[in-house]
C-alpha cells in the first residue's frame, strides 16, 4: 500500500471515529413494536435503539437534545427515517430519555458496528 493511501486511511479513520453533527430527530414506537427491523432484530420500543439511513447496524451513537442538553446512547438497528429533513428515528424509550418527540440533536459516533444482518 502506498504512503498516500495509508495517509488517507488514517485520516478517514480519525475523522470517522469522532464524528459529531446536528440532526433533526423524531421517534417511532407503537406501530412498529414487535416487528422485524432492517437489521433482522425485532423492534422493541422500550430498548435504546435508533434508525439511521446509512450507519452500519450495531453502531453506537450518543444523541444529545440541543435544547435540553440531555443525552442517550443508542444502537443503530434499523433504516430510516423516511420523512424528508429527518436524520434519525429514536425508539420511544430513547426519545423519552431526552424529551424528544421531534427535536434537533447532535450525534456523536462512539463505535461502528459490523453492519451484519442478524435474525434473532
Q: Domain residue spans in the chain?
A: 18-111
Grid coordinates 443525552 are at which residue? 71
DSSP string, 73-112: EEEEEE----STT--EEEEHHHHHHTT-SEEEEEEEEEE-
The CATH classification number of 18-111 equals 2.40.40.10
- Nearest CA to 48 among 106, 95, 117? 95
- pLDDT tens for the chain, 120 residues long, are 554 554 445 445 545 555 666 789 999 989 999 999 999 999 999 999 999 999 999 999 999 999 999 999 999 999 999 999 999 999 999 999 999 999 999 999 999 999 888 776
The pLDDT, as a whole number, for residue 12 is 52
The pLDDT, as a whole number, for residue 60 is 96
**C-alpha to C-alpha distance for 118 and 61, rounded to whole angstroms:** 19
What pTM was computed for the model?
0.82
Amino acid at each position: 500500500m502506498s504512503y498516500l493511501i495509508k495517509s488517507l486511511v488514517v485520516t478517514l479513520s480519525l475523522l470517522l471515529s469522532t464524528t459529531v453533527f446536528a440532526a433533526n430527530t423524531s421517534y417511532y414506537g407503537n406501530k412498529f413494536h414487535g416487528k422485524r427491523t432492517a437489521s433482522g432484530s425485532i423492534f422493541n420500543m422500550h430498548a435504546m435503539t435508533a434508525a439511521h439511513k446509512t450507519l452500519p447496524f450495531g453502531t453506537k451513537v450518543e444523541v444529545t437534545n440541543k435544547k435540553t442538553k440531555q443525552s442517550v446512547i443508542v444502537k443503530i438497528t434499523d433504516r430510516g427515517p423516511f420523512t424528508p429533513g429527518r436524520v434519525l428515528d429514536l425508539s420511544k424509550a430513547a426519545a423519552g430519555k431526552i424529551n424528544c418527540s421531534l427535536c434537533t440533536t447532535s450525534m456523536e459516533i462512539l463505535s461502528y458496528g459490523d453492519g451484519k444482518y442478524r435474525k434473532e
